[in-house]
Structure 1
């Protein structure tokens, strides 16, 4: 018998379905893994992983819950849901585009918006790197987020001071606390000067990424 034309084929009680290529490498497996979870795994002809669903996709894999992962030919995970944060995209990392304003360069005086960004949250953690230079005695910079999906106003996430002299680099790593996947977020960077002088803030780059530890899981809304 080599056909199933009607009805179900059932593999249960810890069994597995395995499809092997002519060399004996398993290219498709599904069922219960040796460690107990139920999984699906697809490989290329050479045995390299291609797609996995489960908690144990490779030796010593200790994923806390079943994950969906897509693998490159070189063996790197290029698409996955987040390892620690349920409901979030883990990979790929996504760039955050920023728009400058008329106050980005050579601003003087009170707080003014230098940069604006608008995204739909996919990854759970934001990484933002800025550079600020001032000719004033000092300048202040702040980063804020507004969760538009929840009707909230701007919340200050981080603020820092800059003194005259070489440009000051600043990096923010921020889990999207109080947010859920696919929330609409508007972000802004504002700066000001103390006394006479000018301030310029540049966004060197920004992206969202997966969590690196359980401590980076965003808090619930």
Structure 2
């Protein structure tokens, strides 16, 4: 079994793997796994030596929805700035801020999406010209929303995993198998390549 597949088994075996530019994990020293699920997401860092010696991975911890505790799953609620060009916040923070904006009648200028993955899958089943509708009925191109989401994770990883050189990392994106069923894999790859080209121009 390839080492990248071994790492995937620490998450969910049945999920579809979209590989990064490096074909095998053993070409890198650190695997960075971003996994999108139907309603949540998570990412983890797996140094090869740690994984080989004791199977360890190091998962990013997030505030758990509705609780003061934390876990490694992030709720996929996303608040996007009025210009549609960046994520204001995500997860529980996005839900709370959106509620505050609603109370002050300032919410309509933002884009607020709940369950982005589910919205994407529904959109692909219904229409080839993919636009995502937010909670206020406003739309953004699906590619824009998904690319912003991936950028958010890459920026968070770069901020929190500074001890690892970028040239040592092997990025792996895992999405639900349903993306393959609805024919969205090319869309996922296009978004991932756009993120890679922007975040890692030296690798292009």
**Structure 1 length normalisation: TM-score?**
0.27
Point out which structure has higher relative CO (alpha carbons under 8 A, 6+ apart): 2
TM-score by length of 2: 0.29
Higher helix share: 2
User: Which of the two has higher C-alpha Rg?
Assistant: 1
